[in-house]
């Protein structure tokens, strides 16, 4: 009986891991436009600098992505874009970022982009 229960638990865990890995892969390969905070304009800007999937944005990071956009668009960026990118990476609306993260990103923006 114990062997049978252990087998069932192992099967459940294997199935769960399979589903989670499929979900993670789907998120990684999804279009950057499907992420929170990424509208038509920011999606176009990201694609123009070579970031078209959510995985590429995650690997690049919000700070590097905003620098790429700023370079491509001759400085035409704002703090809200940077916050939106960070929120997109975390899968949340940028308004939901904690105050410490917002302050760190504002400091970065002021020191590097303005």
Residue range 41-90, pLDDT digits in tens = 999 999 999 999 999 999 999 999 999 999 999 999 999 999 999 999 99
* Residues in contact with 73: Cβ distance below 8 Å, sequence separation at least 6, in sequence order: 45
| Mean pLDDT within 100-105 | 97
Q: Place 31 in a pLDDT band, splitting at 50, 70 and 90.
A: very high
* Helices 79-90, 40-48: inter-axial angle, 10-degree rounding: 90
Kindly write down the DSSP assignment for every residue of 15-63, as one continuous string: HHHHHHHHHHHHHHTSBGGGSTT--HHHHHHHHHTT--BHHHHHHH-HH
pLDDT at 114: 74
Looking at CATH, the fold of the domain delimited by 31-113 is given as DNA polymerase; domain 1 (1.10.150)
Nearest to 64 by CA among 35, 41, 89: 89
């Amino acid at each position: 009986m114990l062997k049978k229960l252990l087998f069932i638990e192992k099967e459940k865990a294997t199935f769960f891991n399979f589903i989670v890995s499929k979900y993670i892969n789907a998120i990684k390969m999804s279009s950057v436009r499907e992420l929170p905070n990424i509208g038509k304009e920011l999606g176009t800007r990201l694609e123009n600098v070579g970031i078209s999937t959510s995985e590429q944005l995650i690997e690049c990071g919000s700070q590097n992505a905003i620098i790429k956009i700023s370079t491509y668009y001759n400085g035409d960026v704002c703090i809200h874009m940077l916050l939106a990118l960070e929120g997109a990476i975390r899968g949340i609306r940028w308004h939901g970022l904690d105050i410490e993260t917002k302050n760190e990103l504002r400091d970065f923006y002021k020191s590097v982009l303005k």
